[in-house]
Amino acid sequence: MLFDSRTLMPHLKTWSPMSVGAWVLLIFSAFAFVSFLEALLGDERLRFMRGGLGHLITSVGALFGLVLAGYTGVLLSVSNQPIWSDTWALGGLFLASGLSVGAATLVLLARLSSPAPSTEAKLSRADRFFVLLELVLLVAFILSLGAIAQRFLQPRWIILWALVLVGTLIPLGLRGAAHRGATAVLASCLVLIGGLALRIVVIFSAQM
C-alpha cells in the first residue's frame, strides 16, 4: 500500500481508496505521535509547538484526522457489497458518528480531570452539534438506499436501530437540559452505545 514492491519507492495510487487510506493513516499517526510527545513532555521541551508552527501542525493533523474518521465509510461504499455500495452517505455518516463519539469520550475523560466548567460546556455543545449532523446523515443514508433499506426491518436490526436512536435523540435532550454533572455523563455514555450500535448494524446487516 505504501511502497512499490519492485523499487521499494514510496507509491501512492490515487485511484485506490485503500492506498490513499493507508497514506492518510501513516501521516496522521506521525502527527498523533507528535501530539503524544507534547502531552508527555510539555511544550517547554517541544518549543516548536508553542508558536505558529505548533498551531499549523495541530491544524494539519486535525485535517488528516477528519479524513481518517470518514475513511471507513468511504472504503465500504466503494465495495461491491449491497447496502454499502448503494449509498453515497456512508462516509459522511461514519465521520459524523466518529466526531460525536470522540466528543462524548472527551467529555467523560474531562470528568476525571475536573476541567473548567466552560471546557465541559464547549465539549457538550460540540457533541450536540455532531449528534444533530449524525441524525441528518442517518436520514440521508436510509433515504439513499431506497427499497433495499427494508433489510433493516428484520427484528435483530430493529433492536440495534433502537439503540442508535437512543444514543442520538436522548443525548440531544439531555445536552439541552444541562452541560455538567451526571446528565453529561449519561448523555456521553448513550452516544458511545449508539455509535457502536450504528457500526454493528451497518457492517453486519450488509453481510447477512
pLDDT one-digit tens code per residue, 123-180: 878 888 999 999 999 999 999 998 888 888 888 889 999 999 999 988 887 765 545 5
Task: Please give the Cα distance from 50 to 55 (Å, whole number).
Answer: 8
Rounded CA Rg of the chain: 19
Note the pLDDT of residue 117.
Answer: 66
Task: Please give the Cα distance from 2 to 26 (Å, whole number).
Answer: 9
Q: Which of residues 61, 78, 95 is at a domain's end? A: 78
> Are residues 95 and 167 both part of a single domain?
yes
Note the pLDDT of residue 122.
Answer: 80
> Are residues 84 and 153 both part of a single domain?
yes
* More confident call, 35 vs 96: 96
> Are residues 59 and 103 both part of a single domain?
no
Burial class (CB in 10 A: 0-12, 13-18, 19+), 184: buried
> Are residues 64 and 97 both part of a single domain?
no
Q: Which of residues 56, 78, 100 is at a domain's end? A: 78
Three-state SS for 7-31 is CCCECCCCCCHHHHHHHHHHHHHHH
Phi and psi, residue 6, nearest 5° = -95, -45
Q: Which residues of 111-144 are buried (b: 16+ CB within 10 A; e: fewer)?
A: beeebeeeebbbbbebbbebbebbbebbebbeee
Note the pLDDT of residue 181.
Answer: 66
pTM of the model: 0.82
Task: Please give the Cα distance from 1 to 16 (Å, whole number).
Answer: 9
Take residue 1 and report the three cell numbers written for it.
Answer: 500500500
Question: What average pLDDT does this structure show over 116-121?
Answer: 71
> Are residues 102 and 201 both part of a single domain?
yes
Phi and psi, residue 3, nearest 5° = -130, 150
> Are residues 40 and 113 both part of a single domain?
no
Question: What average pLDDT does this structure show over 108-122?
Answer: 74
Question: What average pLDDT does this structure show over 75-104?
Answer: 90
Residues constituting the chain: 208
Indicate if the pLDDT at residue 51 is higher than 80.
no
Note the pLDDT of residue 176.
Answer: 55
> Are residues 124 and 158 both part of a single domain?
yes
Q: Is 3 helix (H, G, I), strand (E, B) or coil?
A: strand
Confidence grade of residue 80 (pLDDT, cut at 50, 70, 90): confident
Number of domains in the chain: 2
> Are residues 61 and 89 both part of a single domain?
no
> Are residues 114 and 195 both part of a single domain?
yes
Q: Which of residues 78, 99, 121 is at a domain's end? A: 78
Q: Is 64 helix (H, G, I), strand (E, B) or coil?
A: helix
> Are residues 144 and 197 both part of a single domain?
yes
Note the pLDDT of residue 13.
Answer: 82
User: Are 100 and 191 in contact, with CB atoms under 8 Å apart?
Assistant: yes
Q: Average pLDDT, whole number, for the chain?
A: 85
User: Are 184 and 127 in contact, with CB atoms under 8 Å apart?
Assistant: no
> Are residues 101 and 184 both part of a single domain?
yes
> Are residues 165 and 63 both part of a single domain?
no
Note the pLDDT of residue 180.
Answer: 57
Q: How many CB atoms lie within 10 A of CB 18?
A: 12
Instruction: Note the pLDDT tens digit of each residue in 3-26.
Output: 777 777 788 888 888 888 889 999
Q: Which domain holds residue 22?
A: 1-78
Confidence grade of residue 109 (pLDDT, cut at 50, 70, 90): confident
